[in-house]
Amino acid sequence: MSTPHLSRRQFLHLSAGAAATALLSACTAVAPQAGGSSAPAAESVELTFDMYNFDPWLKALDEMFTAFNTANPGITATLQSAPGEEFWSRQEARLAAGTPPDLSIGDPGFFGRYAHKGYYLALEPSVERDQVNLEKWFPITVGDCRYDSTTGIVGQGTLYGLPATYVGLILYYNKDLFDAAGLGYPDDTWTRDTFTEAALALTQDSAGKRSGDAGFNADDIVQWGVSHNLSYGMAVHVWNNGGALISDDQTQCLLTEPATVEIFEWFDKLLHEDHANPTPAQLEGLPNPLQVGKVAMSMDGSWNVDYYVANLEFNWDIAPVPMGNKGLDRITYAGTNTLHIFKDSKHPEEAWKLLQFMAGPEGMAYFAKTGTPSLIETANSDVYLTGEPEHRAVAVDIGSYAHNYYPGLKSDLWKQIYNAELEALWIGQTDAPTVLQTICEKITPILQTPIDEL
């Protein structure tokens, strides 16, 4: 089921608008002194950073590189960009031709493949030499810069980049609708049961009857209790129930385990019996249901926070995702916008200097305008926390208890099958145990294929 919200990749790629490529002014070489011979002036090094068109980042990078160039005479950082729909294919063509830029933004969908092909520069030698303390960044964001070439798994192994900003799954809620229903706002004590009770109480038909009331008309709903970003939402509910989609080593399908099946059955009931989450048919032609006041809660990405600050016209806030019902520690999803140096850069030392600037306090002050900074110091400072919503710190805290969404060399292959097969459950054509068994049968051969045979 595809909820009409800004997905992480859509947000980064489609909200950009018309962004022009920014080239920063080059530094002037030092002129020889008059009146005698002198050594030749040092040649200025030009570094290129590759970025897709996304206005907030283009603006932040333009300002950031101006500051870097001023502080580093003899190095000129320049920005080159392209529309998101052609960015990665263009970059891969340059990499295959051996003419890459010096640095680039990374993406969870491409990082593992790029690292496996040897495109990125391994950073451990530079980190050790310069005594860079990786504990200054949230652990999950550093993990998203690691790749293990023996297993094909992102999150472990060699360090191939540094983190910029991160995003994750949080709970948005319409305070006005909660007030009208006389309900307390979501907070960090909520479990899945609390969440479900609220979702039912906030689902209403045109006659004012709520889900579970006698005479409730499921064909005439004017307000739903909740909507989900299902790309990550189901995994988050499963993790909080003690289950998993696949094993940590990404070789076994765990969708048929009881803790996982329980969650899919719970959501099937929420969708088709309680009618507290809109179905695909109900969402057809409907804009973002939270933004237009059609849902009271939305489990969605923190990448929408500042978009909602600018566009929501009602009172709202954010809260952590609900815990499970088993007393386990809360888990949510988080993913990182990473920064990388290409191995074939002609200026690796200068590129490393720029990378440290970008991922350090100086660069993070600019990145704070585009998302949650991965640098702990900046994320917890007024640079990021000032402004709406009231509980903005929720978007920071997820960095301490998040799990990534199984990135790796095989992830695109098995996730395509997983997402396609689940459509039958979302539209009510099958039950949870049946579809989960089918998915396991189809993705197990992929998970068990050695990575060198993919």
- Domain co-membership, 122 together with 175: no
Q: What is the pLDDT of residues 212-255, one digit of tens each?
A: 999 999 999 999 999 999 989 999 999 999 999 999 999 999 99
- How far from the centroid of its chain's Cα atoms is residue 10's Cα? 11
Q: How far is it, in rounded angstroms, from Cα 281 to Cα 423?
A: 12
Q: How far is it, in rounded angstroms, from Cα 1 to Cα 420?
A: 9
- Domain co-membership, 118 together with 93: yes
Reported residue count of the chain is 454
Name, in order, each residue with C-beta under 8 angstroms of 99's C-beta and a sequence gap of 6 or more. Answer: 344
Residue 439 lies in a domain: yes
If one counts every other C-beta atom within 10 angstroms of the C-beta of residue 19, the result is 18
Q: How far is it, in rounded angstroms, from Cα 240 to Cα 333?
A: 11
Give the pLDDT score at 300: 96
Question: Domain limits at 302?
Answer: 169-332+409-453
Residue 33 lies in a domain: no
**CA 255, 260, 263, 268: dihedral to nearest 10 degrees?**
20
Residue 259 lies in a domain: yes
Asked if residue 223 lies in contact with residue 198, where contact means CB atoms within 8 angstroms, the answer is: no
Block residue for tokens 């959501």: 267
Interval 20-24 mean pLDDT: 34
Question: Last residue of a domain, which of 382, 403, 424?
Answer: 403
- Domain co-membership, 221 together with 328: yes
DSSP string covering 376-417? HHHHTSHHHHSSSSTTTTHHHHGGGTEE----BTTHHHHHHH
Q: How far is it, in rounded angstroms, from Cα 306 to Cα 241?
A: 30
Q: What is the pLDDT of residues 279-302, one digit of tens each?
A: 888 888 888 999 999 999 999 999
* Domains contained in the chain, number: 2
- Domain co-membership, 59 together with 79: yes
Residue 245 lies in a domain: yes
- Domain co-membership, 85 together with 139: yes
Q: What's the pTM value of the predicted model, to 2 decimals?
A: 0.89
Q: What is the pLDDT of residues 86-119, one digit of tens each?
A: 999 999 999 999 999 999 999 988 999 999 999 9
Q: What is the pLDDT of residues 36-67, one digit of tens each?
A: 444 444 579 999 999 999 999 999 999 999 99
- Domain co-membership, 356 together with 326: no
Confidence label for 8 from pLDDT (cuts 50, 70 and 90)? low
DSSP string covering 416-445? HHHHHHHHHHHTTSS-HHHHHHHHHHHHHH
Q: What is the mean pLDDT of the chain?
A: 91
Q: Percent of the chain at pLDDT above 70?
A: 91
Q: How far is it, in rounded angstroms, from Cα 123 to Cα 160?
A: 6
* 7 residue type, one letter: S
Residue 367 pLDDT exceeds 90: yes
Q: How far is it, in rounded angstroms, from Cα 119 to Cα 63?
A: 28
- Domain co-membership, 153 together with 177: no
How far, CA to CA in Å, does 379 sit from each of 9, 135, 171, 232, 374?
22, 14, 19, 23, 7
Asked if residue 249 lies in contact with residue 150, where contact means CB atoms within 8 angstroms, the answer is: no
Give the pLDDT score at 2: 37
- Domain co-membership, 370 together with 238: no
Range list of H helices, 16-133: 55-71, 84-97, 108-116, 124-129
Q: What is the pLDDT of residues 167-218, one digit of tens each?
A: 999 999 999 999 999 999 999 999 999 999 999 999 999 999 999 999 999 9
Residue 367 lies in a domain: yes
- Domain co-membership, 251 together with 210: yes
Residue 347 pLDDT exceeds 60: yes
If one counts every other C-beta atom within 10 angstroms of the C-beta of residue 171, the result is 21
Q: How far is it, in rounded angstroms, from Cα 349 to Cα 342?
A: 12
- Domain co-membership, 314 together with 416: yes
Q: How far is it, in rounded angstroms, from Cα 276 to Cα 211?
A: 7
Residue 35 lies in a domain: no
- Domain co-membership, 157 together with 283: no
- Domain co-membership, 124 together with 254: no
Beta strands 45-52 and 103-105: pairing type? Answer: parallel
Beta strands 162-174 and 103-105: pairing type? Answer: unpaired
CATH number of domain containing 317? 3.40.190.10
